[in-house]
Amino acid sequence: MEKLFRVGAASLGPADDGPACALARAERAVEALAGAGAGLVVLPELFAVPYAAAEDPGRRPYPAEPLDGPTAAWAVGVASRLGVPILFGMALSPGGPGKPFNAAVLARPEGTAEAIALKIHLPPAAPGDRFGEADHFAPGPGRIGAVPVGPIRLAALVCYDRRFPECWRAAAAAGADVVAVPVAGPAPGDPDGIFLAELRTHARANAVYAVSAARSGTETVTGRAVRHDGDTVAVGPDGAVVAGPGPAVLAGIDPARLALASERNPTARRLRPLIPQRS
């Protein structure tokens, strides 16, 4: 039987103790997943810095970096050493004036780093807060694509973008086999179980694997408790959970399962154009 390509994902956090410690934790997680056979490792959104979207961006801006900055250089170095691509979240400098992007960056063992997704939908301030992600980041252009990684095609939806069915449709239309969802938080208004329900619904509706990597723990460095409460989990193209939730997951991407899910897809092949109608 042909060996399946495996995608790993790790929970990381909190990031109160600085980027050096965050990168060291991430490196250990990537090493463990690579050692277990992962051909790709997914890390969480903005994993190396505290989540500070509720803070005043004039006083606590996100440390934006270019694609040849220290975080991407670290990821390229680890990917090259282990021979495994790494998808991770960072604040990406726009290359000029303006707010950074909330990016998902793919570091390859060949020594390159590429932003494969820029967060399109930015959550507003939560109830009781003055600031939200829209105050810290610029929205990415409304484009979603998929890139080859080994035998699969990979798309990424950064955290809140997972809420929008159109994003999943676009990823599937771009030929994605796997949709990675790097996640931070918090989402205190969410009902229990809604995060996993979203992933299962969208994976099944679009016949793709969904693999999330969520930040974990509670950060207090900003002076308030920021709890990260997403799941690190892998969902198959039929909507069934194939790994996790847990601190780390490893999922085999089965071409036969993808083909069968596409053939039996309950919605995508039956979708008809809808015309809004107001009375």
DSSP 183-242: E----TTSPTTHHHHHHHHHHHHHT-EEEEEEB-SEE-TTSS-EE-----EEE-TTS-EE
Q: Could you tell me the two tokens for 155?
A: 């798309």
Tell me: the pLDDT tens digits for 155-177?
999 999 999 999 999 999 999 99
Closest CA to 42 of 149, 199, 196: 149
Tell me: the pLDDT tens digits for 61-76?
899 999 999 999 999 9
14: preceding bond cis by omega (within 30 degrees): yes
User: Is residue 250 within 8 Å of residue 38, measured between CB atoms?
Assistant: yes
Q: Could you tell me the two tokens for 223?
A: 């002076």
DSSP letter for 12, please: B
197: pLDDT strictly greater than 90: yes
Q: 1 pLDDT band (50/70/90 cuts)?
A: very low
222: pLDDT strictly greater than 50: yes
Whether pTM exceeds 0.75: yes
Average pLDDT over residues 127-133: 90
DSSP letter for 125, please: P
Q: What is the pLDDT of residue 267?
A: 74
Looking at per-residue pLDDT, the higher value among 123 and 139 belongs to: 139
Residue 260 burial (CB count, 10 A): 14
Average pLDDT over residues 7-19: 93
Q: What is the pLDDT of residue 90?
A: 97
Closest CA to 233 of 169, 181, 177: 181
Residue 54 φ/ψ, nearest 5 degrees = -85, -5
Burial category of 38 from C-beta neighbours within 10 Å (exposed 0-12, middle 13-18, buried 19 and up): buried
Average pLDDT over residues 185-200: 83
Q: What is the pLDDT of residue 92?
A: 98
Domain ranges of the chain: 5-263
Average pLDDT over residues 77-96: 96
Closest CA to 42 of 160, 155, 188, 132: 155
Compute the distance between CA of residue 86 and CA of residue 78 in angstroms, rounded to an integer: 8
Q: What is the pLDDT of residue 274?
A: 73
Q: 279 pLDDT band (50/70/90 cuts)?
A: confident
Domain 5-263 has CATH 3.40.50.300: no
Q: What is the pLDDT of residue 228?
A: 82
